[in-house]
A and B are shown apart, each in its own frame.
Chain A
Amino acid sequence: MVGWRNWAGIRYYLYLIPTFALLVVFGYYPPISAIYHSFFRWDGILASQFIGFGNYVRMLHSGTMAIAAANILKLIIWGLLAGILPALGVAELLLSIRSQRAQYWYRILLVAPIVVPGVVGLLLWEFLMDPNYGFFNTILAAVHLPTFLFFASPQQALYSFMFMGFPWISAVNVLILLAGLMNISRDLFDACALDGATWFQRFVRVDFPLIIGQVKLLIILGLIGGLQGFTAQLIITQGGPAFSTEVPGLMMYQSAFTYQQMGYASAIGLVMFVVILILTIINMKYVRTSVEYQP
């Protein structure tokens, strides 16, 4: 009887073994290893030598890291603006459409490009922004306007990354914001219409305060994703020309996989994690939470 009771309790832990076996190896070990090895000179394979805060000191004095930090700051600020404002506009447009059927189809069309692999999107934009034969310069030249060097110019490369993806409508963000807008009671919109409120007044006093929760979420997701992002730079510029598009994530990648400085790379990753954590906490704590509407 006692044996049976033990089994009854123990089997639940046995059920969890596959999940936790994977998590111990690929979930918990890597971040701990990153913290530990950030204090070492480490080639990732054999040699590791304790150097205290050496990697962190090196990061502080690195001119490249200063450039990368300034670049990522610009890219994040732009990313938040371009990720949220156009999406908010489109969500309001969709909300204003009476026909549910039409609205549904617009949502389908907006989401459809997600079937194209992200890398193809990057390569297509690089192709369209080619300084010699690209789509944009062909058009600009045809109407006798100055053309751009885009990714070939140290002055323009970072801004070229910002231009990519024009008109910057993030379908996912539209869906999240639209879900928030559709949760707002119709009665409130009717009341606004009856009171003769303009669209702008309604947006400022009703729509926006009631979807601040969604906006906050998009800010957090944008910060987390934006700070870590380096795929576009890896594919298109490798941080060049002249470090003008270097970002911390790419520095980490290059330190680890081009120069085999895995300890330094771990330290960069750890600092990025701490920054992400601090930004998330600030955002959770200090950005005003959603206003609850009570009928």
Chain B
Amino acid sequence: MDAQVRANVGVAAVSKRKPVRRRWPDWKSHVAMWILLALVFLPLGEMVIISLKSPYQYQAQPFGVSWPIAWATVVSNFQGGWQAISPYIANSLLYSGASLIGVLLLASFTAFVFARFRFAGKEVLYYAVIALLMVPGVLTLVPQYALVHHLGLLNTRWALILPYWAGGQVFGIFLLRSFLGGIAEEYFEAARIDGAGDWRLYWNIALPLCRPIMATLAILNVIGTWNDLVWPMVALAGKPGLENLTVGLTMFQQEFFTNYGPLMAGYIIASLPLLLLFLVASRQFIEGLGSGSLKI
């Protein structure tokens, strides 16, 4: 009854009465968030703590901070980690970088063609591309290995880069076509009147306009290739020196099996490239990862 009356008299009456009692005060949410965040960061916290220890300090007290922190130990741990992990980081930078540039160019140009031109069979071709989003990794892993073997690309860098281009562009075309399709025709019409050809329309109009959505695509692509494990493991198994970071980390873990200081330091070093990217583009990370809903 009371609620009915209140709803009827509307906003004016509500503002006069005391604010509605809040059952869940803000500070409780903050406390809950901090507890949850502490648990989320616990393994990473241990990683940092152990990276500061010498073997003796680890034996004496494995999981707490060992005071005083001996900086000579820290330096030697991180030097050991860096020596073991840096070649793999260099390889991964190459694989992820090459993948990224190729995917951005291929996806943006093809999406531009699909979005802004009319030609026979366009929709059929577009759906032929998008259908590949339904093909899961388990179906392609084995025949792709045989394929790469027959092409003579096994144990070469192309064994990673070419499939990354092929696979990465599919989602990119999907993402960018809908975005480019939504841009007003006036932009392109104006450029056409000024005598711009297809290439100039793409390079000077479409590409700058879809920069924000390309950032999203870039982040998702880098996270995907940076973390890829199974394909590099089988495609590069026969040639030491080409391993990417993830494969290198599994080997590194066996190498430093009981020497936890450099091991954890190596894990930290392995996280730095994406950490740097995250620091300059945290907003794009959040938008990119949140756009997972676009995948279906």
Contact = CB atoms under 8 A, between A and B. Distances in A.
B271 A117 contact: yes
A117 B245 contact: yes
B110 A16 contact: yes
Contacts of B90: none
A81 B41 CA distance: 21
Interface in A71-125: 90, 93-94, 96-99, 102, 106-121, 123-125
Nearest to B277: A115
A102 B198 CA distance: 46
Contacts of A97: 26, 29-30, 33
A162 interface: no
A36 B295 CA distance: 28
Interface residues of B, number: 87
A237 interface: no
A228 interface: yes
Query: What is the interface residue range for chain A against chain B?
Result: 35 or more
B184 interface: no
Interface stretch (A27-35, A57-65, A153-161): A27-35
A118 B137 CA distance: 17
Interface string B116-135: 01011010010001001011
A30 B143 contact: yes
A111 B289 contact: yes
A100 to B, nearest CB: 12
Interface in B37-64: 37, 39-41, 43-44, 46-47, 62-63
B241 interface: no
8 contacts: A9-B119, A19-B173, A22-B162, A96-B26, A108-B282, A116-B271, A119-B250, A176-B290
Interface of A: 9, 11-13, 15-16, 18-20, 22-23, 25-31, 33-34, 37, 44-45, 90, 93-94, 96-99, 102, 106-121, 123-125, 127-128, 133, 135, 138, 166-167, 169, 171-172, 175-176, 178-179, 191, 193-196, 198-199, 214, 217, 220-221, 224, 228, 230-231, 234-235, 249, 252-253, 256-257, 262, 265-266, 268-270, 272-273, 276-277
